[in-house]
Amino acid sequence: MDQAANRAGEWLALTMTRRYDVPPESVFRAWTDPAQLAQWLGVPGRQTHVEAFDARVGAAYRISFSGGDMPTTVVHGRFEEVEAPSRLVFSWQWERGPAGLPEEETLVTVTFRAAGAATEMVLTHAGFGSQEWRARHEHGWNCGLDNLAAFTARPVQGRAGMAQEDNIALAVRRRFAAPIEAVFRAWIEPEQLAGWIGPRHVQARIDALDARVGGSYRISFLDGEGIRQVVGGIFREITPPKRLVMSWTWESPCPGQASSVSSKIGHETLITVLLETVGKETELTLTHERFPDQPTRDGHDQGWNGSFDKLAELLAA
């Protein structure tokens, strides 16, 4: 059967109806706010990482799931309809599906209807090519929607507090006039990495870098006043030349923020770097998540943008 028939729903489908004791606006936000989505989407024992998410018609999302006894899996798609707070329609396609299962594009439709002070939500997922594939998604959605019920049952302050504590994130996207292999090497070769990482007013030194899954890295930054700051972490995923995932933990205050972030020493955050060839250029998307607060996130946003300015110069040399 062709793709048009698939998306028209002539293949297998599942439908779920749930009721949540909050207004439609709150449930809709839980689907379209990346920090909230990461807290409930997925199954027990797995971590959800919202790597890219732009809830506009025609825009894309990308979500990865890691941990447990399974390899990391990635789903992506595009929003086809966004009618706040009543309706979402988006495509759903596994980039790396669970072993042996198809990677066909399917279609998810979610509607939200006020039922007094509550919300009736109906999810339809259509276009499955096999009963097994449908059943696996039914299990996944049931787990996720149970999580969503628990999430929306929290006080608003509790939800906001958790998002602020665990899911504050930044995303930076840049294009570089260099092949994808060259950009990837700039991340994993110590001499190259030292040439661009960190603000312009600091000098980076790569103390350790073992670019393999489970390997560690450690970077020292020395500023003009002789103050040394150190960050380190572990490589969680390495897929040359397209993907890097690593933890990121300050052993001492980060450059330029010694007084403001001293209490954040030891707080682990997570970095995902995605590389894609676009014509003769390479598009880099960096997602840095799990910041403890907004000021720490903003400081890193400034730092990554300054670093990528230096990386562009290095690759152009």
CB 304 within 8 A of CB 286: yes
What element of type H or E holds 152? Answer: helix 131-153
Kindly report the pTM of this predicted structure: 0.52
What element of type H or E holds 29? Answer: helix 24-32
Domains 3-165 and 167-316 share a fold: yes
* Cα pseudo-dihedral 66, 261, 230, 243, rounded to 10: 30
CB-neighbour burial class of residue 184 (10 A; exposed 0-12, middle 13-18, buried 19+)? buried
Q: Residue type for 36, please? A: Q
pLDDT band at 241 (very low <50, low <70, confident <90, very high): very high
pLDDT band at 1 (very low <50, low <70, confident <90, very high): very low
Q: Identify the architecture of domain 167-316 in CATH.
A: 2-Layer Sandwich (3.30)
**Predicted local distance difference test score (pLDDT) of residue 10:** 55
pLDDT band at 99 (very low <50, low <70, confident <90, very high): low
Residue 186 token pair: 């700039």
pLDDT tens digits for 194-235?
Answer: 999 998 889 999 999 999 888 899 999 988 777 788 999 999
pLDDT tens digits for 115-125?
Answer: 988 999 999 99
pLDDT tens digits for 18-65?
Answer: 999 999 999 999 999 888 898 899 988 888 888 888 899 999 999 988
Residue 195 token pair: 């040439």
Q: What superfamily would CATH give domain 3-165? A: START domain (3.30.530.20)
What element of type H or E holds 35? Answer: helix 34-40
Spatial CA neighbour of 30 closest among 18, 45, 15:
18
Domain edges within the chain: 3-165, 167-316
What element of type H or E holds 137? Answer: helix 131-153
* Helices vs strands, H then E, count in the chain: 8, 14
Secondary structure (3-state) at 121: strand
pLDDT tens digits for 3-30?
Answer: 444 444 457 999 999 999 999 999 999 9
Gap between the Cα atoms of 308 and 128, Å rounded: 41
